[in-house]
Amino acid sequence: MFQIPDWAFEFHGHRCPFMPIGYRMGTLALKLLGVEKCKDHQMHVFSEMGIGHPQGCMQDGIMSATGATFGKGMMEKLYLGKVAAIFWYPGKKDAFRILLNNEFQDKLAPHEFFKYRKQGIEPSEIPEEVRADIINMVLNATEEELFTITKIENFHYEPTKGSFNKVKCEVCSEYTFERYIRVKDGKKVCITCAGHKTDEFIVETPKIK
């Protein structure tokens, strides 16, 4: 049976089936790429997940297994609403897309765990034996049962270059990293002072070809 370290559950906050699925997906990605868990800025993960579906918990498992964390800027979300992720590692020619099989999603769906969830009961309030049972389904499944792997040959990605260059916004005087500075009325200002709305804050998109 596959083992998930306790600290990963502690980090995630509750015991659900999706964090462990993500942990297994991340572990498989390390194996496919032939690399170890990343200490620094190596593996990039492009999560195809979106918002408002419980499979998003998988991303905490992926981060825990691979070290490709959101905080280090190693995970991007593509908001496609699919239970899949693409794993890329610098210097490797090919990337891998790993998809959680429809059949496994269908196998989990009738479980009692989701009867509670559909009544609005949070995972931490679901009886432990119910949670343990669905988590065991994940830990006992074979990789083939869980995932479909697609090799993406010659995957091209240019990570954004790290920079320490910051500028004082000429309106609010808060330090702002250079690439987020805009020019308004001849002044170098931050995006907030330039009057942009929140959804315009995302100025960097991953360069995937």
Contact footprint for Zn ion (CB under 5 A): 16, 19, 57, 169, 171-172, 190, 193
CA–CA distance, 17 with 137 (Å, rounded to integer): 8
**Closest-CA residue to 18 (of 100, 120, 97):** 100
Q: Burial letters for 75-101: b for 16+ Cβ neighbours within 10 Å, e otherwise? A: bbbbeeebbbbbbbbeebeebbbbbbe
**Closest-CA residue to 22 (of 52, 50, 60, 68):** 60
Taking the least distance from each CB to Zn ion, the nearer of 49 and 193 is 193
| Closest approach of Zn ion to the CB of residue 104, in Å | 17
| Closest approach of Zn ion to the CB of residue 1, in Å | 20
| Closest approach of Zn ion to the CB of residue 131, in Å | 10
> Are 140 and 104 in contact, with CB atoms under 8 Å apart?
no
Taking the least distance from each CB to Zn ion, the nearer of 95 and 126 is 126
**Closest-CA residue to 45 (of 64, 28, 70, 9):** 70
The residue count for the chain: 209
CA–CA distance, 5 with 19 (Å, rounded to integer): 11
- DSSP alpha helix (H) spans, 13-147: 18-33, 58-66, 102-108, 112-118, 128-140, 143-146
Taking the least distance from each CB to Zn ion, the nearer of 143 and 170 is 170
| Closest approach of Zn ion to the CB of residue 68, in Å | 18
| Closest approach of Zn ion to the CB of residue 170, in Å | 8
Helices and strands (DSSP H and E) totals, the chain: 7, 9
Taking the least distance from each CB to Zn ion, the nearer of 95 and 134 is 134
Taking the least distance from each CB to Zn ion, the nearer of 10 and 153 is 10
Taking the least distance from each CB to Zn ion, the nearer of 139 and 149 is 139
| Closest approach of Zn ion to the CB of residue 143, in Å | 21
